[in-house]
Copies of this chain bind each other. A is one copy, B any other.
Amino acid sequence: MAHSSDIALSFSAPRKGRATRRGARATAAEPPSLRDLPLFATVDDATLARLSLDAKVETYEDGAVIFRQGDQVAAIVILLHGFVKVLRIASCGDETLIGIRADGETVGEPPMDANEHYRVSAEAIGPTSVLKIPAARFARLMKESQSLCAAVVKDSKDKIAALVGEIESLKAQNADQRLAHFILSLCPPGEEQCRFRLPYDKRLIAARLGVKQETLSRAFAKLREHGVRTETRDVLVESVSRLAEQCEQLGRPARLPSERADDPDREDAA
């Protein structure tokens, strides 16, 4: 399933114009420019060079398993292109989606020594390419390079912040609110009206938000009243700021008992 290739990252880091530039070799001095990856942005040159020595690019097809919960950690995995499902598998077989990683993010935890086990599984969503650096080497370098270690701390803190946000939304928001926040997170900043395509299918979005597909569909339907038009996979947000305001509103049981002096029932302000 895994199509290894210690060369040829034909498309590695397409977000920037550079990166691939004339066949960036994997094991070569500069794989897909490690420096461009957020994790390595602040790492010292010497360490980066050494990391590059063992870095290799792998590509996966849709649905391919990148690593499996319980397996020994073989490498640190950094997503170059595509999306990756991170999920947790219970003893009874239930799979729970923990998160979805996008370009530049690390998948799973950076290994501190060569004897850890993955605590989650990772699976490609659509064709993806990842950068892998063997766990043993990475762990060794982390012991030697303060800047690498600090980078890992930073990465972990970001992850913790994201997970905390996730817990907050699961505990404190209903499906409609979670969807609204999700959509807002997809809107390019600074634009009042925007149109874009959902990054993955609705089944996945539902899992990401922690609801069933049908519930997501109904949530989309409800947001239609708040200026969110959808056509299969394309979304048009008529007013980002209005949607943001109405996020809290979506929480109450339809209408709030206080100060309802003048609104018998308020569908929308027309």
Chain A contacts to B: CB under 8 angstroms = 88, 90-92, 94, 96-98, 109-110, 112, 119-120, 142-144, 146, 149-150, 152-154, 156-157, 159-161, 163-164, 166-168, 170-172, 210, 248
Contacts and interface: CB of A to CB of B under 8 A. Distances in A.
Contact of A168 (B96, B109, B154, B161): B96
Contact of A167 (B90, B92, B98): B98
Contacts of A92: 248
Q: Could you tell me the dominant secondary structure of chain A's interface residues?
A: helix
Contacts of A160: 109, 156, 159-160, 163
A211 to B, nearest CB: 9
A224 B219 CA distance: 37
Contacts of A150: 112, 142-143, 149
A161 B119 CA distance: 8
Contacts of A164: 88, 98, 119-120, 163
Contact of A170 (B94, B161, B170, B248): B170
A168 B90 contact: yes
Contacts of A154: 112
Contacts of A109: 157, 160
A147 to B, nearest CB: 9
A216 to B, nearest CB: 14
Contacts of A161: 119
Contacts of A112: 150, 153-154, 157
B172 A170 contact: no
A246 to B, nearest CB: 12
9 contacts: A91-B248, A92-B248, A96-B167, A96-B171, A119-B161, A149-B150, A159-B160, A160-B160, A167-B167
